[in-house]
Structure 1
Amino acid sequence: MKQFYIAVLLLCFGTIAQGATRPNIVYILADDLGYGDVQCMNPERSQIPTPHMDQLAADGMIFTDVHSSSSVCTPTRYGILTGRYNWRTRLQKHVLYGFSAPLLADDRLTVAELLKAQGYHTAAIGKWHLGLGIPTTNDKVASGNGNNVDWQGVITDGPVDHGFDYFYGISASLDMPPYIYIENNRFVGECTTVKQFHRPGPAEADFEAVNVLPDIAQKSVQYIQQQTVTEPFFMYIALTSPHTPILPAEDWQGRSQLGAYADFVMQTDAVIGQITEAIDQAGLGQNTIVIVTSDNGCSANRANYRALEKAGHFVSAQFRGSKADLWDGGHRVPFIVRWPAVVSAGAKSDELLCLTDLMATAAELSGATIPAGAGEDSISFLPALTGRSIVSTRAGVVHHSIDGYFAYRAGKWKLLLARGSGGWTAPKEAQAIQAGAPMAQLYDMERDPGETINLYNSHPEIANRLLQQLESDVARGRSTAGVRMNNDVDIVLWKERALARMNNQ
């Protein structure tokens, strides 16, 4: 089926007017970078210097109300590349690991495949974290200790099998083995030892976590230097920072005077600067869209947020919660777009968007039409880049936490189907139940962006309206207009009710 979609896209490509200049697209995804960590997003309560991201914003546009489709890593990456909500898959909570089976189905169209069919050269550099078909020396799945991995074998179901012409990076997060680079569909070397970067596991002898971010920068710059103005390209650069292990390079240690996490954010910002500088030096800056964002909020405890707050730095800005949560600190992410040929310098948009929206935007940019069975939860934000309002058939945005709890945002209203954070921040669900908290939460995000006043009991008509729309978006298998689709599994919206039923059986 996917081959059919790509054939249709190729026909669409043939109808584009000859000589049309399609922009290059460079999508830089930081890992666990909080909304409040970037000064241009949080000017009053950020103490970490981020001059390169600030310059991108000064030269382009910031979006203030963009959300990752999940408040953790793997699910968000699925949504970015497919334009489909992660919770429609088998992955109903948590994340994958370095040896996990692939999450992307063979027939699931990706942004890379869509753009490749439109004549783009495509590259993924950095963290994959969507599962791989890891070769083994027997007929069993890859063991977590690597004992049955065929390090010389061919990796399947990776980036080059899902639309990317080139890949260089690692299988999952930098704290998840195996600790070894992958180039295209082969391991770079073999894992002959054991190392521990938070989690112990098989490692290639020369692999060091502190070198990965600089290596991603180097590979990205090299790729850009190889590009020309005659062939458009799409780069998906998935950084490994400032996620754990928090290991700023030696020359960045102590720079922020706020601790290792802040140093690592500064180094992350510098890498983004290296990439954009390479684009400009190659003469490609004018017609290259650079998008900088994050896969979820900051991992507050690991960043030692209490010490940062004492120094006046708030990783989630004015928003409540952090990574893993349903509250906005878990999934409201920095989002900066620079495109000198189109976007006015210093622009800002308050449009409500989701990271699933790359698919529809890339389609409109490249002249493609998304096939009926793809990009079910994606809308184009292209109009916003020129100050126009986005007109879409999507009523709102669905939020999802690490433990599988749901929330729904439409306009200024946000409904959470959870009593607490739904994630790591207190009160967690058990704590909220014990405290007698209402079964759900409703907030007016215009008046109360910190989600402090729960209006669920006082505004039942609004809560019911949002719940009905969420139920519709789930049941139809899509949140945009189009042919009805199927979810991969049955979706349980109210986790607490499901748990109560299980306990009573």
Structure 2
Amino acid sequence: MKRLQSTVLTINGYVFTGESIKSFNNKWDIPKSNGYRTAMIGKWHLGMSFPEKDKGKNNVNWKGRIEGGPTDRGFDYYFGISASLDMPPYIYVENNKFVGECTTTKAFNRKGPAHEDFEAVNVLDEFADRAVAYIQNQTAEQPFFTYVALNSPHTPILPSPQWQGKSELGAYGDFQMQTDAAIGRIVDAVDAAGLSDNTLIIVSSDNGCSKAAKITAMEAKGHFPSAQFRGSKADIWDGGHRVPFIARWPRQIQAGTQDHQLICLTDLIATCAEAVGTELSADTGEDSVSFLPALKGQPILSTRDGVVHHSISGHFAYRVGNWKLVLAKGSGGWTSPKEDEVPNGSPQAQRYEMNDDPGETTNLYESRPEIAARLLAQLESDVKRGRSTSGPDQANDTDKIRLWKSTKR
């Protein structure tokens, strides 16, 4: 196979959170070390250290060098903001420097230092402009990897004036339409540069729709952002975790095809490694499995039994094929019933057959206890080994992992 020309990873919202940070932080150099030009545009939100005028006094030196950001983690170029758009400071960062200084205070949900010209409503278009400009400067002779972490549709929900009212679903619907248009501009830039045939473009998100979107109001108008799935952002149910995942690669993927194999966003690191022709070390991407075969219409070869995920409160779920075990009595998140709202005498956990019951309406935890016991044993093994794939055991980030948070075991 001819070498993959480029990858544009366009993320609708931030993506690498929780376990993903362990897998990806410090590993962005995989494409770079294999000859790819690398760039990141958008919200970082993985931690960076701001320079201080007086060490230990938390007074930022706006002219100093930022440490631990994207260009220290394997990217050749970076333009974006330090975290989510509702988290100060409200100022752009380019490579390892602030773009100007914060001389005033603003509040986009949270109050904090801000650049005088920084306006949250302009950020989405600015990121799209920067991504398009970067792609326009690429050529077929130099492979490149671009990670675009858009601020939308995360809060603050601020569609620009030309998009307001377009969706007829409120500000969130408008903001999502603007997000789709921004992604479309990036795709168009790849096409205009003549790079589309062998460029892999992935569009995804890190969680389900937030209640800040006013879900009930949208449902009243006939739009169900979680579709047939239960719950939303922060919950352990699939409405909080199952997200769109769209890939375009004309040389390999036939337009309009679908694949129903189970993958997780932590699989991106192993997929990128295989795509650029390298192997991960034993202590890298311990929970990552390459889904590159699926992009070619082939079965994914995996040594991983199940996928681990969590609610915002840290309640565990474990997915193996059609089975899902939830170590929580309720949503484990923001949707009722929350853990303290579940009636006394309810099962201590949940188990669902996802193919037959994607809405997680019928709790089968007590009907086939041997299945729940088997899933729990596999989860406990993964935690003990510090990995869910084959390979040498790895140390967990903490030895204080508590699988059961709502009941005593």
Alignment of 1:262-411 (within 5 A): 262-299=173-210, 301-411=211-321
Deviations 1:72-105 (A, max 9, x none): x7427626xx35xxxxxxxxxxxxxxxxxxxx4x
State the match for 1:24 in structure 2: 6
Name the SS for the 2:103 alignment partner. strand
Give the superposition deviation at 1:139: 2.1
State the match for 1:127 in structure 2: 43
Contact 2:201 2:248 in 1 (8 A): yes
Deviations 1:126-166 (A, max 9, x none): 01111111111222163xxxxx1111111101111110111
Give the superposition deviation at 1:435: 4.3
Give the superposition deviation at 1:197: 0.6
1:459 and 2:368 correspond: yes
One-letter amino acid of the structure 1 residue matched with residue 222 of structure 2: G
Greater relative contact order (CA < 8 Å, ≥ 6 in sequence): 1
State the match for 2:100 in structure 1: 189
Deviations 1:366-417 (A, max 9, x none): 1101111111111111111122111210011111111111100001000001
Alignment of 1:77-92 (within 5 A): 78=21, 82=23
2: CA distance, partners of 1:114 / 1:160: 13
2: CA distance, partners of 1:450 / 1:22: 38
1: CA distance, partners of 2:81 / 2:218: 30
2: CA distance, partners of 1:424 / 1:436: 22
Deviations 1:403-450 (A, max 9, x none): 111100001000001111111111111112x54421110001011100
One-letter amino acid of the structure 2 residue matched with residue 273 of structure 1: G
1:428 and 2:338 correspond: yes
2: CA distance, partners of 1:191 / 1:466: 51
TM-score (norm 1): 0.79
Give the superposition deviation at 1:488: 1.4
1: CA distance, partners of 2:302 / 2:251: 25
Name the SS for the 2:258 alignment partner. strand
1:162 and 2:73 correspond: yes
1:444 and 2:387 correspond: no
Superposed CA RMSD: 1.6
Give the superposition deviation at 1:233: 0.6
Name the SS for the 1:133 alignment partner. coil
Give the superposition deviation at 1:21: 2.4
One-letter amino acid of the structure 2 residue matched with residue 379 of structure 1: V
2: CA distance, partners of 1:119 / 1:166: 15
1: CA distance, partners of 2:193 / 2:47: 34
2: CA distance, partners of 1:386 / 1:324: 33
2: CA distance, partners of 1:323 / 1:163: 30
One-letter amino acid of the structure 2 residue matched with residue 382 of structure 1: L
2: CA distance, partners of 1:248 / 1:437: 43
1: CA distance, partners of 2:119 / 2:369: 54
Deviations 1:194-246 (A, max 9, x none): 11111111111110000000000000001001111111111110001111111
1: CA distance, partners of 2:168 / 2:322: 38
Give the superposition deviation at 1:331: 0.9
Contact 2:5 2:140 in 1 (8 A): no
Q: What is the aligned-residue identity percentage? A: 60
One-letter amino acid of the structure 2 residue matched with residue 78 of structure 1: I
Give unpaired runs (5+ residues) of structure 1.
1-16, 33-67, 84-103, 143-147
2: CA distance, partners of 1:204 / 1:169: 14
1:237 and 2:151 correspond: no
Contact 1:170 1:182 in 2 (8 A): yes
Give the superposition deviation at 1:23: 2.9
TM-score (norm 2): 0.97
Name the SS for the 1:349 alignment partner. coil
State the match for 1:14 in structure 2: none
Name the SS for the 1:236 alignment partner. strand
Name the SS for the 2:289 alignment partner. coil
Contact 2:5 2:142 in 1 (8 A): no
Give the superposition deviation at 1:295: 1.3
2: CA distance, partners of 1:116 / 1:478: 26
Deviations 1:315-343 (A, max 9, x none): 11100011011000111110000000111
2: CA distance, partners of 1:355 / 1:395: 16
Contact 1:76 1:295 in 2 (8 A): no
